[in-house]
Homo-oligomer: A and B are copies of this chain.
Amino acid sequence: MDFLHTYAVIMAGGGGTRLWPVSRKESPKQLLPLLGQETLFQSTVNRLKNLFPPERILVVTVEEQAREMKNQAPDIPEENYLIEPAPRGTASVVGLAAMVVQKRDPKASMAILPSDHFIRNVDLFHYLLKAAFEVAEDQYLVTLGITPTMPSTAYGYIQQGMPVDGDYKYPVYTVKSFKEKPNEETAQQLLRKGDHSWNSGMFIWRTDVIMNEIHKQMPGLGSALDEIRAVWGTDRQAEVLNTVWPNLKNETVDYGIMEKAERVAVLPAGGLGWSDVGSWSSLFEVLLPDMNGNIATNAALHLAHDTHNTLIYGGGERLIVTIGVDDMVIVDSGDALLICKTDQSQRVKEVVEHLKKHRQVTFL
């Protein structure tokens, strides 16, 4: 395989709330330097550069985020930023990207990649992507699974079936089933079974294969994409996109396409050092704590006295002193301060819901 027709599509429209108060509507997680110098989006782009020239990296995002993304990744050509008129779920995003890429290059394959994940082992990631493209050549819808390291209730799971026959450089399995985020007990069971991976949201396929699948599984989306394709690149592009898009069914690619498709394969990846950076506690998986287990990141001045396994984030020029503090997350972010037991950090979203409900817009 010569990898001359492989494209990367970064999905970057989300505005997660689980890293509140740092991630906000106006400054979503992927645009923040959460782990140091680079933003998660920049890391995602840089991680792809060895594998794809910038003209074959596309970004699908929303209007509010596009400008900042272009600032952060100026190498990617202007026309490779695709703007969703409004969020209509990942199925629509995948469809739009597949249509655009296929129109440019009818032989194209593409990898769909989230913009806000962390991957420690970039070499392995490259190896896996290449392997996945080879499997995709054989008309599979391929997904990268993450070998679980704990019974997480924060991820969906993929159950593998039989190995896929073929001369591939990495083990590949058919997919037996996709599973929603489980409860604690079920997560324990899935982990013990050994044949389940976390659903990472990374997909690899040929554009013709995914377009066929869209027409089959989501004919409404399929014909909408045909309509947009007919005017894409003309002066009617924006008008048609803006007319058609709001009427699309809001659907995920997992539920709308993957679960019903027949030729689906998974590469279960262990040792990738992957994290979705989905809560403050996940920073303990991603960054190296000091010998007391503490992490101070984006924090200018931190004085830890009898403090262990505690994350200090932010604070600007302020002095942050902790005394007798264990297993906490402390986030000091301009107009808001979060102090949270680490194992409760998923509950940040309950606070954000509360703020939304009570229209505390300045803090959202």
Contacts and interface: CB of A to CB of B under 8 A. Distances in A.
A38 to B, nearest CB: 27
A230 interface: no
A341 B323 CA distance: 6
B348 A323 contact: yes
B347 A335 contact: no
Given A305-B351, A351-B303, A320 B337 contact: yes
Interface string A312-349: 00010111111111001010101111111101110110
The number of chain A residues touching the other chain, given as a range, is 35 or more
A303 B352 CA distance: 11
Contacts of A343: 324
A185 interface: no
A156 interface: no
Contacts of A321: 21, 336-340, 351
A350 interface: yes
Contacts of A337: 315, 318-321, 330, 332, 337
A360 B323 CA distance: 18
Interface centre among A303, A355, A363 (most CB of B within 10 A): A303
A306 interface: yes
Given A303-B354, A305-B351, A351-B323, A318 B335 contact: yes
A351 B306 CA distance: 11
Contacts of A322: 338-340
A324 B350 contact: no
Contacts of A21: 319, 321
Contacts of A339: 320-323, 325, 328, 330, 339
Contact of A347 (B324, B336, B338, B341): B324
A107 B303 CA distance: 55
Interface of A: 21, 303, 305-306, 315, 317-325, 328, 330, 332, 334-341, 343-345, 347-348, 350-351, 354-355, 360, 363
Given A318-B334, A321-B338, A322-B339, 10 more contacts: A21-B319, A305-B350, A319-B337, A321-B337, A321-B339, A323-B351, A324-B340, A324-B344, A325-B328, A325-B339
